[in-house]
Structure 1
Amino acid sequence: MSDDFAYDRPRAGYASDPARSRGRRIEEPGSRTRSDFQRDRDRIVHSTAFRRLTHKTQVFVSLEGDHYRTRLTHSLEVAQIARSISRVLGLDEDLAESVALAHDFGHTPFGHEGEDVLDRMMQGFDGFDHNAQSYRIVTRLERRYATFNGLNLAWETLEGLVKHNGPLADREGNGIGRYAGRPLPHAFRTDPGFLALEPWTQPGLEAQVAAIADDIAYDAHDIDDGLRAGLIDVDDLREVPLVGGFLEEIDARYPDLERPRVVHEIGRRVLTRMIEDVIDESRRRIAAAGVETADDVRAHSDMLVGFSPSVSEAEKAVKAFLMARVYRAPSVLAVRERAGRVVSDLFTAFVERPETMPDEWRGDLDPANADQLRRRVCDYIAGMTDRFAFHEHRRLFDATPELR
């Protein structure tokens, strides 16, 4: 590795410093061996929500095959990319990793189809939002510790989890950005500590890195999974910006390379090009902005981590290709539709017969309280893995859709 990309740089002044963390909601003694951000990462890895990611859909339903990405493998890939970028930029790698590992906690079984169905079933009851559900999990739903619910994460980790894609609300709690013109999600609006996360400011650089690492991981591994599923062929990639150029390089250098190695060579080149571009562009933006502290980053008008204009356009083209050829492929949509029926059937069944849920989900439930009942059912289903949702449907119904 060149000196320009040296990986052992000291922490930059604009990085988040665990020694200056704004603390946890519930005060705890510090650790003799780990920083607050390292402790957060460890709590995330040991959580129930993290283990459930093993059997949650990324693009292809986890029941379809063992080699497709799941939410867990995706999160691990995002964390690796986030650490790599953070190391070179002089940021806190542990904080970036923590945000990356937890960013998909709120996703439902069966990927975005499950989320769409739950949001539809919760219309009139504050809807469903996977980012807000991640926050709900780490502040309330995880129940492992003797003195608090949730994981009691550090302020910076919570902030990064909530707004890694940018500001969410103004100082009065009115939605902005993706939430403009509509109420904030239930988990944010009903949590008394939410505004303490300053949702009107930019996220710290570590959270910004985790967000773009998510995009990079999606682009690279969804190409790989699409090829593995037979939805696209290597030759289809020749007209895709960025990717097509790499394929020409591989053909020229390795003319007789077998297909599996070609596929891997494409993926590693896409990852390298995007990661190095983000590093170069982010350095340029940080220098131009003149930020010196993490609070300067939060007060800045724009995100400081991103792609250069040329790679940004290429990345959009990659996403458009994947949307048309992979995410909206007829076979994928057919499985999504059947998976959506599983989720909607389960929701209706548990609302009509809450006694069919486990005891721990019914303990203090008032079936006459429609808001409480539907939110409880929503929380229960959102936490399910693909295969558990499938088995629950088989338990409650005579016929269950085939999901392969």
Structure 2
Amino acid sequence: MPPEASHLGPDQYAPMPSMRGTPSHESWLAPYACSASTSGGRRQAEPPPRDRTEYQRDRDRIIHCSAFRRLEYKTQVFLNHEGDLFRTRLTHTLEVAQIARSIARALRLNEDLTEAIALAHDLGHTPFGHAGQDALGACMRGADPHGGGFEHNLQSLRVVDRLEERYAAFDGLNLCFETREGILKHCSRRNAERLGDVGARFLRGGQPSLEAQVANLADEIAYNNHDIDDGLRSGLLHLEQLEDIDFFGGHLDAVRAAYPGLGQKRLVSETIRRMISTLIADLIAQTQARIDEAQVCSPAEVRASPPLVAFSAPVREQLTRLQQFLRQALYRHPQVLHSTTKAARVLRELFTAYVDEPRLLPADHQRDRQGGQLRGIADYIAGMTDRYAIKEYRRLFSVHDWS
């Protein structure tokens, strides 16, 4: 069986033992929200938690795992060593979780499940951000065209299902079905076919829980806004450029009118704060309207419906223009491309070195890790932080200058 495949089929999940009373905060959930007491279960049965729900247990396991700690030293946009105040993959994750919980509470969804998904969504991300992911994906496709490549969402699932080694009774974190499903935001058909029930919706159609849909768009809200903040802080973006972008410019004008003479630092922070508030309010209102129109009354009906969590059409249009601007002005800025090009080369050369000489790998990565040597190499590289990848590159190739 392929390494990503579940050992259990769609009807083989271990049912959740009854809890000693559902915690009071779940009593006010909407009927279309996921309830921990009726979860689809874990792949391996466990005694119920004493003083928390099953989704709270998932959240706690994620926060305490090694992959979560490594997010502190993984790139969001700017490489980790380029400045102490830029977002990292960890601070991005925390911002996503905060936004997602706020939206979930307003919609009477399960905050704990939403938070767990948000906290886990980037656990499988490579060092050096999307440049690292693209480089590792190309390496895997080139070395094994039929091996499934590399997808960071799928790697996040692999981390929580297989790679974390914390518990005596099972590999991974043994998370609930709903948390695992929410982590898998994107998945190719080839890989979905290997995943059993958690990949089924990518084959037959359908949606994940509302909690997963909220975490997905909370991710979008977070990175669009904090990338503007980091871009301005870095000097790669300038207010004059952003003034012409309707969504940013409108809020900027409102702040200037309300607070004449405000310094740029506070001006930017207040503008971004209002942008986030606008996006959250719009998402809540539009999503509630879609839920009411669809008349969904259960998580099962949510899964059978079109996507229900969404922005209104005017806000989505403005957000799209903002994203197009960021793609051209920031993500493809020569200085960013200079760093990410070097970073991609580091991962490519590390991958080649480990393929050519597997004994360069640590001993526990030289053995078959449920997927063969190439998958083990991808696991090792994806788990690196930015600074560890640079350190390893220097060690193997005697390169001492990173400027």
TM-score, normalised by the number of residues in structure 1:
0.89
Alignment of 1:304-383 (within 5 A): 304-364=308-368, 372-383=372-383
Query: For the Cα contact (< 8 Å) 2:44–2:174, is it kept in 1?
Result: yes
Match of 2:163 among 141, 165, 168: 141
Residue 54 in 1 paired to residue 72 in 2?
yes
Report how far residue 120 of structure 1 moved: 0.8
In 1: Cα distance, 2:93 partner to 2:295 partner: 32
Report how far residue 9 of structure 1 moved: 9.6
Residue aligning to 1:120: 138
Residue aligning to 2:293: 288
Query: For the Cα contact (< 8 Å) 1:342–1:401, is it kept in 2?
Result: no
In 1: Cα distance, 2:79 partner to 2:167 partner: 32
In 2: Cα distance, 1:26 partner to 1:46 partner: 20
Map Cα deviations across residues 114-160 of structure 1 (whole Å, 9 max, x no partner): 11111111112321111111111111111111010011001111111
Map Cα deviations across residues 296-334 of structure 1 (whole Å, 9 max, x no partner): 10011x110010000000110110111111100000001
Q: Which moved more, 1:142-151 or 1:120-129?
A: 120-129
In 2: Cα distance, 1:129 partner to 1:80 partner: 25
Match of 1:34 among 27, 41, 52: 52
Q: How many residues align?
A: 374
Query: For the Cα contact (< 8 Å) 2:165–2:171, is it kept in 1?
Result: yes
Extract unaligned runs of 5+ from structure 2: 1-24
In 2: Cα distance, 1:246 partner to 1:382 partner: 38
Report how far residue 213 of structure 1 moved: 0.2
SS at match of 1:153: coil
Alignment of 1:80-99 (within 5 A): 80-99=98-117
Residue aligning to 2:220: 215
Query: For the Cα contact (< 8 Å) 2:26–2:110, is it kept in 1?
Result: no
Quick one: which amino acid aligns to residue 72 of structure 1?
A: L
In 2: Cα distance, 1:383 partner to 1:278 partner: 34
In 1: Cα distance, 2:195 partner to 2:385 partner: 26
Residue aligning to 2:389: 389
Quick one: which amino acid aligns to residue 132 of structure 1?
A: L
Query: For the Cα contact (< 8 Å) 1:159–1:197, is it kept in 2?
Result: no
Alignment of 1:208-247 (within 5 A): 208-247=213-252
Residue aligning to 1:176: none
Residue aligning to 2:259: 254
Report how far residue 197 of structure 1 moved: 7.1
Report how far residue 237 of structure 1 moved: 1.3
SS at match of 1:239: coil
Report how far residue 400 of structure 1 moved: 5.2
Extract unaligned runs of 5+ from structure 1: 1-6, 169-178
Query: For the Cα contact (< 8 Å) 1:143–1:150, is it kept in 2?
Result: yes
In 1: Cα distance, 2:128 partner to 2:112 partner: 29
Cα distance change of structure 1 residues 107 and 400 upon mapping to structure 2, 3 Å threshold: farther
Quick one: which amino acid aligns to residue 180 of structure 2?
A: L
SS at match of 2:116: helix
Cα RMSD after superposing both structures:
1.9
Stretches (4+) displaced over 3 A: 188-200, 363-366
Quick one: which amino acid aligns to residue 158 of structure 1?
A: R
Residue aligning to 2:9: none
Query: For the Cα contact (< 8 Å) 2:107–2:288, is it kept in 1?
Result: yes
In 2: Cα distance, 1:153 partner to 1:330 partner: 41
In 2: Cα distance, 1:322 partner to 1:114 partner: 19
Cα distance change of structure 1 residues 194 and 276 upon mapping to structure 2, 3 Å threshold: closer
Quick one: which amino acid aligns to residue 161 of structure 1?
A: I
Cα distance change of structure 1 residues 400 and 64 upon mapping to structure 2, 3 Å threshold: same
TM-score, normalised by the number of residues in structure 2:
0.89
Report how far residue 236 of structure 1 moved: 1.6
Map Cα deviations across residues 45-91 of structure 1 (whole Å, 9 max, x no partner): 00111001000000110110110001100000000000000001000
Query: For the Cα contact (< 8 Å) 1:155–1:197, is it kept in 2?
Result: no
Report how far residue 96 of structure 1 moved: 0.4
